[in-house]
């Protein structure tokens, strides 16, 4: 068996040396897509030096390169894996001869792009996470999400703090965590008009970060983080940056609107973030398994009042109301309407008008009798009115 493996390895090496190598700049882990996980090889190889690529191109195309032979993290996998690691993991993706912050810029530039099946890299792409050796740690470290408040109101800003919790495992092989990669999902409906922002700890000099939201990933790239998805990674510079408790990143949300689903004066909606993928890697490129992930819940609140409204709000009315085939919004002179949105009693958005003029007719064709909620956004704020359709 060993002889067979050795033969296989030697044949493979011969094959490698006879073939030119190609990589997609930014796909540092060669899994076929440029995304947050590509920050991990950059962290592992930070500061490494090797031969410059013959062409300095950083376009999203397979470009030729020469494998580096310099020091590599001592992968505990087979020699075959080491050859692969040499071929794809530890390249200066920017085309420079040192792995440095420029490589993170290339990741941002190509975020979300996928390798073309007709022009794959060589060696061909592999499942990066499946190649990582597993390292179970007991008790395990944890990733926790903590919201900045228990309850927040419409138009409030709130933060999801993502935190690493260290472990006091007696395992002498555990040296801490070098990089953390997270894919997170959340219910976007009450925060969708204002995309979240991912905030990294820019004061720390031992960490780099990479994140993507649907706003940052433009539409001609695929696969995108969806409207309800966040992807982010943080990594130390070859060092185990996460040993004791420390913040990973924060996500800033703004409560946009809450849809009124009944006649109550105040609406409450829970909001939370789910972990889809949690990847913790150490400086030996081992994936730490058994990691605990805890999420938190925040309550979004909207207080709907008509009594005691400011004067400018009192002047905003729906007419006619009850309505038959259309309605208009009357507003105090000079107040501009940004947006009018119609919701049914179950909170589903039905129609949306951008920048209507006061008095402009908004059609209700095809809608059934009953009551509806109308959200009116103005330059001075947002308010709600109830509309009855006969
Ligand atoms: Ca990749």
The model's pTM is 0.71
- State in Å: Cα 28 to ligand 1 middle: 6
Q: How confident is the model at residue 332 (pLDDT cuts 50, 70, 90)?
A: confident
Domains 134-303 and 311-389 share a fold: yes
Domain spans in the chain, listed from the N-terminal domain onward:
2-131, 134-303, 311-389
pLDDT tens-digit map of 275-302: 999 999 999 889 999 999 999 888 888 7
* Three-state SS annotation for the chain: CHHHHHHHHHHHHHHHHHCCEEECCCCCCCCCECCHHHHHHHHHCCCCECCCCCCCCCCCCCEEECCCCCCCCCCCCCHHHHHHHHHHHCCCCCCCCECCHHHHHHHHHCCCCECCCCCCCECCCCCHHHHCCEEECCCCCEEEEEECCCEEECCCEEEEEEEEECCCCCCCCCCCECEEEEEEEECCCCCCCCCCEEECCCCCCCEEEEEECCCCCCCCCCCCCCCCEEEEEEEECCCCCECCCEEEEEEEEECCCCCCCCCCCEEEEEEEEEEEEEEEECCCCCEEECCEEECCEEEEEEECCCCCCCHHHHCCEEECCCECCEEEEECCCCCCEEEEEEECCCCCEEEEEECCCCCCCEECCCCCCEEEEEEEEECCEEEEEEEEEC
Return the pLDDT at 182.
Answer: 97
* Angle at alpha carbon of residue 210, lines to 80 and 114, rounded to 5°: 55
Residue 87 CA to ligand 1 centre (angstroms): 14
CA of 283 to the centre of ligand 1 (A): 18
Fold of 134-303: Immunoglobulin-like (2.60.40)
**pLDDT tens per residue across span 7-58:** 444 444 444 455 677 888 888 888 899 999 999 888 888 887 777 777 777 8
Q: What is the whole-number distance in angstroms between the Cα of residue 35 and the centre of ligand 1?
A: 6
Taking Cα atoms as reference points, which of 244, 278, 252 lies closest to residue 200?
252
Q: Compute, in angstroms, the gap from residue 7 CA to the centroid of ligand 1.
A: 30
Instruction: Please give the distance of CA 215 from its chain centroid, rounded to a whole number.
Output: 10
Q: How far is the CA of 99 from the centre of ligand 1 (A)?
A: 16
Q: Indicate if the pLDDT at residue 90 is higher than 80.
A: no
Domain 311-389 fold: Immunoglobulin-like (2.60.40)
């Amino acid at each position: 068996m060993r002889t067979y493996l050795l033969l296989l390895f030697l044949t493979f090496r011969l094959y490698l040396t006879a073939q030119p190598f190609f990589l997609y700049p930014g796909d540092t882990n060669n899994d076929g897509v440029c995304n947050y996980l590509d920050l991990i090889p950059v962290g592992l190889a930070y500061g490494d030096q090797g031969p410059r690529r013959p062409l300095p191109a950083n376009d999203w195309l397979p470009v030729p390169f020469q494998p580096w032979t310099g020091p590599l993290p001592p992968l505990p996998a087979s020699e075959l894996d080491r050859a692969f690691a040499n071929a794809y993991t530890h390249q200066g993706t920017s085309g420079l001869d040192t792995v440095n912050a420029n490589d993170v810029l290339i990741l941002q530039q190509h975020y979300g792009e996928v390798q073309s099946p007709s022009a794959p890299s060589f060696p061909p792409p592999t499942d990066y996470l499946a190649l990582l050796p597993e390292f179970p740690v007991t008790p395990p470290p944890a990733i926790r999400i903590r919201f900045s408040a228990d309850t927040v109101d419409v138009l409030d800003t709130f933060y999801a703090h993502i935190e690493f919790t260290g472990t006091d495992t007696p395992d002498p092989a555990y040296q801490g965590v070098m990089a953390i990669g997270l894919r997170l999902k959340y219910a976007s409906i009450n925060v969708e008009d204002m995309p979240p922002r991912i905030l990294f700890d820019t004061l720390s000099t031992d960490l780099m970060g990479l994140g993507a939201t649907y706003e940052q990933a433009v539409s001609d790239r695929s696969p995108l983080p969806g409207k309800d998805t966040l992807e982010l990674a943080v990594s130390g510079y070859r060092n185990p940056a996460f040993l004791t408790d420390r913040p990973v990143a924060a996500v800033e949300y703004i409560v946009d609107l809450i849809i009124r689903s009944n006649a109550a004066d105040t609406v409450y909606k829970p909001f939370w973030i789910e972990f889809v993928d949690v990847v913790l890697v150490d400086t030996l490129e081992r994936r730490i398994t058994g990691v605990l992930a805890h999420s938190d819940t925040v309550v979004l609140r909207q207080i709907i009042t008509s009594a005691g409204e400011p004067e400018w709000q009192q002047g905003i009315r729906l007419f006619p109301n009850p309505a038959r085939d259309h309605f208009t919004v009357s507003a105090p002179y000079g107040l501009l309407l940004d947006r009018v949105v119609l919701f049914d009693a179950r909170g589903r958005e039905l129609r949306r008008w951008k920048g209507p003029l006061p008095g402009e007719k908004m059609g209700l064709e095809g809608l059934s009798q009953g009551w509806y909620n109308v959200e009116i956004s103005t330059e001075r704020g947002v308010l709600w009115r109830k509309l009855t359709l006969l």
